[in-house]
Amino acid sequence: MILRDDCRIMDDLDEIASLRDEFRLNEGEIYLDGNSLGPVGEASRRRVTEVIDVEWARGLVRSWNSAGWMAEPTRLGDKLAPLIGARPGEVLVADTLTFLLAKLVGGALELKKDRHVVLTDVANFHSDLYIVEAMAARAGRPVTVKVINRNALDDALDDDVALVMLTHVDFRTGEMLDMAGITKKAHAAGALMLWDFAHSTGAVPLDVTGCDVDFAAGCGYKYLNGGPGAPAFLYVRERWQGVLENPLPGWLGHVRPFDFELRYEPAEGMQAFVTSSPSMIALASLDGALDLFERVTMDQIRAKSLALTDLFIALVEDRLPGVFELVTPREHATRASQVALRHAEGYGVIQALSERGVIGDFRSPDICRFGFTPLYVRFVDVFDAVERLVEVMDSRMYRDARFAVRNPVT
């Protein structure tokens, strides 16, 4: 039996507890949806205000030079690089995730012109599947996207596979894949490996260098707290720079953008993956959000994340035995920073819980998702969230008729 006081002691012992003060969170509300949209931090507000009031208002067009705006995509890439185990000069912040996947898939297919297959996972995020299909269809040669069950990867890997594209943490179940092992298998078959880190970056330690990953991309607005629609990032391993082409070239990826040349000539390094003007206000918000990660290690985040999810699972199983099916792996090695619970009336559960001040989300057809962001979620929050979940289930409030109609965003 876990008591609220036990949780309070865990908070007292938590060495990163003070980071919560950097966020603006609603009083009395428990936010367990930072895996979908991270909350706003004070540093983001400060940096956005600085860009608007100083760099834009006073500097005006001069700020492209004087405030270093042109270099922001690569500067923020270097700032983010340690979170994924990349080296300086291997990460760029730009666009949003689906666009970056298009760039990486399109470029990768040109590197393996003698191969005709892309392997991906049927449980992948739909946007990833749409964009990989679209890029394959435009490859200039027949390319088939094989949408397989990821457990059948070994059988599907042969010498016609150009690229394996997987999402490292399953957005529904929170299962984390074996990045090192799968990347090694893809390489053994002569294929390139592209990882989507949407639900990994800022949530779990990542080591693209040690795992020999070719390409990766991830979101800025989930665990990184960069703001709604924040710019995303892409990783291109050093060995592919100058080799991998950007299939969506634009003037700011040109080596001499202000020479207005008729022929495209890519810039060196990650700059070649810039297409158009950096979105400075959005980048400023992400810039501020990344400051927090300089005050904490990913190992500290991981340790607290596992403790939070362990606690949530234990409390749900203790207080609501048999009510939900645990979809997220119990094993630490394959669990990321969210817990997914299956319930036939999951949508109503999430809505009712939201009215009780606990924010999670719902993924069709029957998954209740709860994200645990160690930067601001406390152990007492986990305790209180489960107490409120018990109230929702015991009262059958989740069956209320007003939850029968779904909002556009679930």
Ligand X SMILES: *Cc1c(COP(=O)(O)O)cnc(C)c1O
Residues labelled catalytic: 125, 196, 221-222, 369
Q: Tell me if 342 sits within 8 A of 324, measured CB to CB.
A: yes
**Which part of the chain contacts ligand X (CB under 6 A), choosing from 55-63, 93-101, 110-118, 336-344?**
93-101
Q: Which helix (H) or strand (E) holds 57?
A: none
Told to check if 96 binds ligand X by CB under 6 A, we report yes
Q: Which of 135, 136, 198, 280 binds ligand X (CB under 6 A)?
A: 198
Q: What is the DSSP string of 333-382?
A: GGB-SEEEEE-TTHHHHHHHHHHTTEE-EEETTTEEEEE--TTT--HHHH
Q: Which helix (H) or strand (E) holds 392?
A: helix 379-395
**Which part of the chain contacts ligand X (CB under 6 A), choosing from 86-94, 95-103, 315-323, 329-337?**
95-103
Told to check if 167 binds ligand X by CB under 6 A, we report yes
Locate 35 and state its tokens. Answer: 């895996």
Residue number with CB closer to ligand X (217 or 311):
217
Residue number with CB closer to ligand X (126 or 402):
126
Q: Report cis status (omega within 30 of 0) of the bond before 39.
A: no
Told to check if 171 binds ligand X by CB under 6 A, we report yes
Interface size with ligand X, residues (CB under 6 A): 13
Q: Which of 2, 16, 50, 127 binds ligand X (CB under 6 A)?
A: 127
Using the 8-state DSSP alphabet, how is residue 55 labeled? I
As a whole number of angstroms, the distance between CA 178 and CA 185 comes to: 11
Q: What is the DSSP string of 100-126?
A: HHHHHHHHHHHHTTT--EEEEETTS-H
Q: Which of 23, 31, 125, 347 binds ligand X (CB under 6 A)?
A: 125
Locate 158 and state its tokens. Answer: 């042969």
Give the bridge partners for 232, in sequence order.
94
Smallest distance from ligand X to CB 362, Å: 15
Smallest distance from ligand X to CB 196, Å: 5
Told to check if 199 binds ligand X by CB under 6 A, we report yes
**Which part of the chain contacts ligand X (CB under 6 A), choosing from 91-99, 112-120, 239-247, 319-327?**
91-99
Residue number with CB closer to ligand X (220 or 348):
220
Rounded CA Rg of the chain = 22
Told to check if 196 binds ligand X by CB under 6 A, we report yes
Q: Which of 117, 119, 176, 219 binds ligand X (CB under 6 A)?
A: 219
Told to check if 232 binds ligand X by CB under 6 A, we report yes
Side-chain-side CA neighbours of residue 273 (13 Å): 36
Task: Supply φ then ψ for residue 218, to 5 degrees.
Answer: -155, 170
Q: Tell me if 24 sits within 8 A of 396, measured CB to CB.
A: no
Told to check if 47 binds ligand X by CB under 6 A, we report no
Give the bridge partners for 195, in sequence order.
166, 216
Q: Which of 98, 209, 241, 410 binds ligand X (CB under 6 A)?
A: 98
Residue number with CB closer to ligand X (72 or 128):
128
Told to check if 338 binds ligand X by CB under 6 A, we report no
Residue number with CB closer to ligand X (168 or 356):
168
Binding residues for ligand X restricted to 351-390, rule: CB under 6 A = none
Task: Supply φ then ψ for residue 205, to 5 degrees.
Answer: -65, 140
> 26 Cβ partners below 8 Å, 6+ apart?
none
Catalog residues that contact ligand X under the rule CB under 6 A: 96-98, 125, 127-128, 167, 171, 196, 198-199, 219, 232
